[in-house]
């Protein structure tokens, strides 16, 4: 029945309004600055569909209600809902949802909620249990297709209950509001909890306020988070006629009990507190779009926080500009440290063009973050009639826009402004130590760079300064890290030109906020290492002639180990140059072949192992013989070459075939 379009006119004035709660596990926005990203319009919307009347998002999926859309099979204002999915940063239509038994005037899509692969759509004027008794439909996603899983109705439903006016879902639990339920008096209101087992949904409990009263309209708004549900009763008279209130219920096992009724400290008549609600963990937000505030005009929102079983008011939100009819607090959304309150009656961009206000919590204080309006807004677009928060996403329903005809409706998506972020390991300001290298050699270390924003990070170059800047280099000269890409590395190389500590400063230039990033560079120069003996050990026998001649590389000038019992030449390989492999001995001056013993010693002169030195080549000049080292991997510091009785021999040099790294 097309005349039911008058329903929306009344709802926008507060008689009955659609409020969609934020899904409980939505992710907070990633940037303080939000920009318009995309406008969504269904491909079949037409005049008076009111696409965007309700919205709900979870992850990369978004559901939009169009309750006044017509269907050739189901009739005028039977209603529909649309599922959009995100790929990268672009949203596209996945499927249009309609009720399998939809009928004219049901207003399917008046409320929507999504969590994971489950969506719930309210049809508050469905007539299954009497005129406008209402219903809700559960859809589940299989792959990329959505199928209707079940139609839900209240066991006590009667005409006029408008069950499905508000819906919320999380996991296998759904809560459906029926604000005109008359269990405690006409329009006292109720909310019904349903749970899923397998593929079947059953009613778990009907909820109503302990102090339920006529016309309170308990259940006009609902929001579920874990085992707690927040239910608005905006026409409650506890603080004055239609001052409003909200109620918290918690589940223990399968039973729900009322935990607390919350009312703002300054609540007054006609505020309609609880007109919209949002709950996440221990934080609740209540919208009061008709509340009177002398400084800021009609409309406000209130934040409450839970401590134990008590809920205390933390802060009141108001619009930044005094304007009659703003309806600030008409719809609210919440996650973590961010909250959103809308003002669809705001005239900032056009008469009733609407606006959205974002707040951020720091400690216990909430600070205004940003006010958003639609730049091309026209009169009566009412942007902010519905709102949802998602992962780096703010969804704003604007059902009065004329995108495809008068009041065809649209949805606007806002996302953090595209800005790259820069981070690194080690972090900016830290030291990069390239280690040690011998003079003439190089050592390296890595600087790992990550993109932490939502746009391509460009490392455009670097600058080296400091006393030893010429001894350092960085490669590559530039980096490009697309949003979401894997970290990349810069290699810092040090080629020390001296034996002291080498220092410099590295400045990395990039296109992200906070540029440049500065690091201190260090490395150490070491004297060149060699595999030859560095010194004669004190334990060398005094009768060894020219012992120093065995130090260093072979040069034709040998030391002589005389043929006396217990004589020995002991050579020091040097600290940091300890041997780990076999030993090559350079010898000369033999008249007869000699076999003697070589001992490999630790720094404390204890023996690691011994091997035979076979000097059997009697030709002229310097010859070599190799002694097998069997003590690997233990390094040896000293080498002891024993004398042979009555047979002197000459040692030009010794060489460890491998030394410690």
Nearest residue to 578 via CA among 503, 660, 517, 649: 660
Residue 625 structure tokens: 């013989």
Domains identified in the chain and CATH numbers: 2-416 (2.130.10.130), 422-526 (2.60.40.10), 535-656 (2.60.120.260)
List, in order, residues 6 or more apart from 376 with CB less than 8 Å away: none
Nearest residue to 103 via CA among 82, 128, 121: 128
Nearest residue to 105 via CA among 68, 130, 54, 151: 68
Residue 435 CA to residue 332 CA, distance in Å, equals 56
Q: Strand 90-97 and strand 111-115: pairing? A: unpaired
Residue 405 CA to residue 42 CA, distance in Å, equals 12
pLDDT digits (tens, 9 = 90+) for 95-141: 999 999 999 999 999 999 999 999 999 999 999 999 999 999 999 99
The residue whose two tokens read 């011998």 is 438
Question: Residue 4, Cβ neighbours under 10 Å: how many?
Answer: 17
**2: which DSSP letter?**
G
Are 437 and 523 spatial neighbours (Cβ–Cβ below 8 Å)?
yes
Alpha carbon of 280 to those of 165, 236, 377: distances in Å? 21, 23, 31
Question: Where are the extended beta strands (E) located within 226-364?
Answer: 228-233, 245-252, 255-262, 276-280, 283-288, 300-307, 310-317, 332-335, 338-343, 355-362
Residue 498 CA to residue 484 CA, distance in Å, equals 42
**424: which DSSP letter?**
E
Are 409 and 52 spatial neighbours (Cβ–Cβ below 8 Å)?
yes
- For the sheet containing 501-510, what is the strand order? 431-438, 517-526, 501-510, 457-465, 479-481
Q: What is residue 564's predicted lDDT score, i.e. its pLDDT? A: 84
Measured over the CA atoms of residue 84, residue 87, residue 91 and residue 94, the dihedral's sign is negative
Residue 596 CA to residue 643 CA, distance in Å, equals 7
**Secondary structure (3-state) at 323:** coil
Residue 196 CA to residue 170 CA, distance in Å, equals 11
Report the largest interatomic distance among the alpha carbons of the chain, rounded to a whole angstrom.
128
Residue 98 CA to residue 104 CA, distance in Å, equals 12
Q: What is residue 199's predicted lDDT score, i.e. its pLDDT? A: 96
Q: What is residue 30's predicted lDDT score, i.e. its pLDDT? A: 42
Which residues of the chain are modeled with pLDDT < 50?
1-31, 294-296
Alpha carbon of 41 to those of 49, 330, 349, 406, 577: distances in Å? 11, 23, 21, 13, 75
Question: Residue 347, Cβ neighbours under 10 Å: how many?
Answer: 18
Residue 445 structure tokens: 């270390």
Q: What is residue 261's predicted lDDT score, i.e. its pLDDT? A: 98
Q: What is residue 14's predicted lDDT score, i.e. its pLDDT? A: 32
Residue 288 structure tokens: 């009061």
Residue 56 CA to residue 296 CA, distance in Å, equals 29
Are 266 and 312 spatial neighbours (Cβ–Cβ below 8 Å)?
no
pLDDT digits (tens, 9 = 90+) for 584-640: 999 997 778 899 999 999 999 999 999 999 998 878 889 999 999 999 999 999 999
List, in order, residues 6 or more apart from 186 with CB less than 8 Å away: 180, 214, 215
Are 438 and 525 spatial neighbours (Cβ–Cβ below 8 Å)?
yes
Provide φ and ψ at 7, rounded to 5°. -60, -40
Residue 23 CA to residue 390 CA, distance in Å, equals 8
- For the sheet containing 166-170, what is the strand order? 166-170, 173-178, 190-197, 200-207
Question: Residue 394, Cβ neighbours under 10 Å: how many?
Answer: 25
Q: How many CA atoms lie within 13 A of 543 on its CB side?
A: 12
Q: What is residue 19's predicted lDDT score, i.e. its pLDDT? A: 37
List, in order, residues 6 or more apart from 178 with CB less than 8 Å away: 134, 154, 157, 161, 162, 163, 164, 165, 189, 190, 191, 192, 219
Are 582 and 627 spatial neighbours (Cβ–Cβ below 8 Å)?
yes
The residue whose two tokens read 């927040």 is 230
pTM metric for this prediction = 0.71
Cα-based torsion angle of the residue sequence 587, 588, 589, 594 in order, rounded to the nearest 10 degrees: 40
Q: How many CA atoms lie within 13 A of 108 on its CB side?
A: 29
Residue 203 CA to residue 191 CA, distance in Å, equals 11
Residue 250 CA to residue 227 CA, distance in Å, equals 6
- For the sheet containing 355-362, what is the strand order? 332-335, 338-343, 355-362, 365-372
Q: Which contiguous run of DSSP H or E holds residue 390?
A: strand 386-390
Residue 584 structure tokens: 């090559």
Alpha carbon of 420 to those of 37, 183, 417, 481, 485: distances in Å? 17, 56, 10, 9, 12
Bridge partner residues of 510 (DSSP): 459
Class of residue 577 by CB neighbours under 10 A (exposed 0-12, middle 13-18, buried 19+):
buried
Are 75 and 104 spatial neighbours (Cβ–Cβ below 8 Å)?
yes
């Amino acid at each position: 029945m097309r005349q039911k379009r008058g329903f929306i006119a009344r709802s926008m004035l507060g008689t009955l309004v659609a409020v969609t709660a934020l899904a409980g596990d939505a992710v907070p926005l990633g940037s303080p600055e939000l920009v318009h990203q995309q406008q969504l319009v269904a491909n079949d919307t037409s005049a008076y569909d009111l696409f965007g009347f309700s919205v709900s998002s979870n992850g990369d999926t978004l559901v939009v209600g169009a309750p006044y859309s017509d269907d050739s099979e189901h009739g005028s204002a039977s209603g529909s809902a649309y599922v959009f999915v995100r790929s990268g940063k672009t949203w596209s239509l996945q499927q249009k949802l309609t009720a399998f038994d939809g009928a004219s005037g049901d207003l399917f899509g008046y409320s929507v909620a999504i969590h994971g692969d489950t969506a719930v759509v309210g049809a508050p004027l469905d007539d299954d249990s009497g005129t406008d008794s209402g219903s809700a439909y559960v859809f589940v996603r299989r792959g990329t297709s959505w199928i209707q899983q079940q139609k839900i109705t209240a066991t006590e439903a009667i005409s006029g209950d408008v069950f499905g006016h508000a819906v919320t879902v999380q996991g296998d639990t759904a809560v459906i509001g029926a604000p005109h339920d008359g269990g405690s008096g006409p329009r006292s209101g109720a909310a019904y909890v349903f749970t899923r087992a397998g593929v079947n949904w059953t009613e778990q409990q009907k909820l109503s306020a302990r102090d339920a009263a006529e016309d309170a309209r308990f259940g006009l708004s609902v929001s579920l988070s874990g085992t707690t549900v927040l239910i608005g009763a905006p026409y409650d008279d506890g603080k004055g006629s239609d001052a409003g209130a909200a109620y918290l219920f918690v589940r223990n096992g399968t039973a729900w009990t009322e935990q607390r009724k919350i009312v703002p400290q300054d609540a007054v008549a006609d505020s309609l507190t609880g007109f919209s609600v949002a709950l996440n963990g221990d934080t609740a937000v209540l919208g009061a779009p008709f509340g009177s505030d002398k400084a800021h005009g009609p409309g406000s929102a209130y934040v409450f926080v839970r401590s134990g079983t008590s809920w205390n008011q933390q802060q009141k939100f108001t619009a930044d500009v005094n304007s009659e009819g703003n309806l600030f607090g008409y719809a609210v959304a919440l996650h973590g440290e961010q909250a959103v309150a809308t003002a669809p009656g705001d005239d900032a961009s056009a008469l009733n063009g609407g606006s959205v206000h974002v707040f951020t919590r720091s400690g216990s204080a909430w600070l205004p973050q940003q006010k958003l309006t639609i730049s091309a807004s026209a009169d009566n677009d009412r942007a902010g009639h519905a709102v949802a928060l998602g992962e780096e996403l703010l969804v704003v329903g604007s059902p009065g826009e004329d995108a495809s005809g008068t009041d065809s409706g649209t949805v606007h998506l806002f996302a953090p402004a595209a800005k790259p972020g820069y981070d690194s390991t080690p972090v900016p300001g830290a030291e990069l130590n390239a280690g040690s290298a011998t003079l003439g050699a190089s050592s390296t270390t890595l600087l790992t760079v990550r993109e932490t924003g939502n746009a391509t990070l460009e490392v455009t170059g670097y600058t080296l300064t400091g006393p030893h800047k010429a001894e350092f280099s960085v490669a590559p000269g530039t980096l490009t890290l697309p949003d979401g890409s894997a970290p990349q590395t810069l290699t810092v190389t040090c080629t020390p030109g001296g034996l002291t500590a080498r220092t410099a400063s590295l400045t990395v230039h990039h296109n992200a906020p906070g540029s440049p990033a500065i690091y201190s560079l260090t490395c150490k120069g070491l004297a060149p290492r060699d595999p030859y003996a560095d010194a004669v050990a004190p334990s060398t026998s005094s009768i060894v002639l020219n012992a120093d001649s065995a130090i260093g590389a072979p040069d034709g000038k040998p030391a002589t180990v005389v043929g006396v019992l217990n004589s020995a030449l002991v050579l020091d390989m040097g600290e940091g140059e300890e041997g780990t492999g076999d030993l090559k001995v350079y010898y000369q001056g033999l008249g007869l072949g000699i076999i003697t013993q070589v001992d490999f010693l630790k720094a404390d002169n204890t023996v690691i192992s011994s091997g035979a030195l076979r000097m059997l080549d009697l030709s002229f000049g310097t010859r070599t013989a190799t002694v097998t080292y069997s003590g690997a991997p233990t390094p040896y510091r000293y080498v002891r070459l024993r004398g042979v009785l009555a047979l002197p021999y000459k040692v030009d040099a010794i060489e460890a075939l491998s030394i410690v790294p």
